[in-house]
Amino acid sequence: MGRLYDHAADLVRRVYDARIHAPAVLDCAALFPQGLQIARSWPQIRGEAEALAGELAGVPRFHEIMREQAPISANDGRDWRLFILKAYGIEFPRNIARCPLLYSLLRGIPDVLSASVSFLAPGKHIPAHRGPFRGVLRFYLMLSTPAFAGGGSAALLRIAGRDYWLEDGEFLLWDDTFVHEVRNQGDTVRAALLLDVWRRNMPWDMRAFSHLLLAVVRAGIRLRGPAA
C-alpha cells in the first residue's frame, strides 16, 4: 500500500503540478473566506479541543489511522494524534458529537473536505515531507500554543524553507505539496485545527480528476473503517 501511494502521488505531481502557479502560503480572504469566520471562534473551538486533550490516550496516532504515514508519525516515539471529524467528505458521527460547535461552523461549508484536531506531544518532530495533491489546500488554525520559557510560541511550522511561529488564534492557508515540517519545542501539547479545502479556480480537467481521486480515497477510508 505504501509503494502504491508513493507511485500515485508521484504521478499526480508530475501531471498536475505544472498546471498551478501559486505560492506556498496563500490569501485566505480570497481563497477560503470562511476561514476568517472560523478563526474568530477559536476560543470556543479550543474549549472543545481541551476537552479532547483530557482523554488524549483515546485519540489515535496518525500512523494508527494510516499505516503509510508511519515515517512522519512514528519516527521519534513521540505522539502525533488526530481527532478526525471528517475525512474527504466522510463524516464520523461519534467524533462530531464531541465537537458540536466546531461542526456547526463547518456544516454549511461544502469546500471543507476534511477536518481534524491535531495534537503534538512535547518534543514531537514531524519531519520534512509534502502532500500528494494540489487540488486541496490546508487551513491551519492554532488552538493551544506551547511557549518558550522566555515567552513566544514554541510551535514551529516550516513551509518551503520559511519558519512560522503561530500564536493562539492565528492561522494560515497554504499548499501542503510544498515541503514542510512541524516541531513542538515546548513542554505542553500543541493543538491545532486542520482543514483540507478545495482549491478554487482549478482548470476543468483538474477538477474532474480531483473528484475521481477523492472517490478512490473515500473508498479506501470506507474499507478501513472509522477513524476513531
Q: Which DSSP category does 6 fall into?
A: H
Mean pLDDT across 185-199: 97
138/173 Cα distance (integer angstroms): 6
> For residues 31, 112, 189 and 82, what is the CA-based torsion angle, rounded to 10 degrees?
-140
pLDDT for the residue 200: 84
221/228 Cα distance (integer angstroms): 12
Pairwise pLDDT comparison (131 vs 118), residue with the higher score? 118
List the one residue out of 127, 115, 113, 119 whose CA is nearest residue 213: 113
Q: How confident is the model at residue 202 (pLDDT cuts 50, 70, 90)?
A: confident
Of 33-42, 124-133, 149-158, 195-204, the one with minimum mean pLDDT is 195-204
For the record, the C-alpha cell of 203 comes out as 482548470
List the one residue out of 144, 213, 196 whose CA is nearest residue 32: 196
pLDDT for the residue 134: 83
Pairwise pLDDT comparison (160 vs 12), residue with the higher score? 160
- The DSSP bridge partners found for residue 147 are 153
Total tally of structural domains belonging to the chain = 1
Domain CATH number, residue 81:
2.60.120.330
213/134 Cα distance (integer angstroms): 12
Mean pLDDT across 44-72: 95
Mean pLDDT across 32-57: 97
Instruction: Answer whether residue 210 shows pLDDT above 80.
Output: no
CB 69 within 8 A of CB 62: yes
Q: How confident is the model at residue 132 (pLDDT cuts 50, 70, 90)?
A: confident
pLDDT for the residue 208: 72
59/95 Cα distance (integer angstroms): 10
Helix residue ranges per DSSP H, the chain: 2-16, 28-31, 34-40, 42-53, 62-65, 70-73, 93-96, 100-106, 204-224
Pairwise pLDDT comparison (130 vs 203), residue with the higher score? 130
Instruction: Answer whether residue 15 shows pLDDT above 80.
Output: no
Instruction: Answer whether residue 206 shows pLDDT above 90.
Output: no
CB 31 within 8 A of CB 173: yes
- Residue range of the domain that includes 158: 2-17+25-224
Q: How confident is the model at residue 68 (pLDDT cuts 50, 70, 90)?
A: confident
159/180 Cα distance (integer angstroms): 4
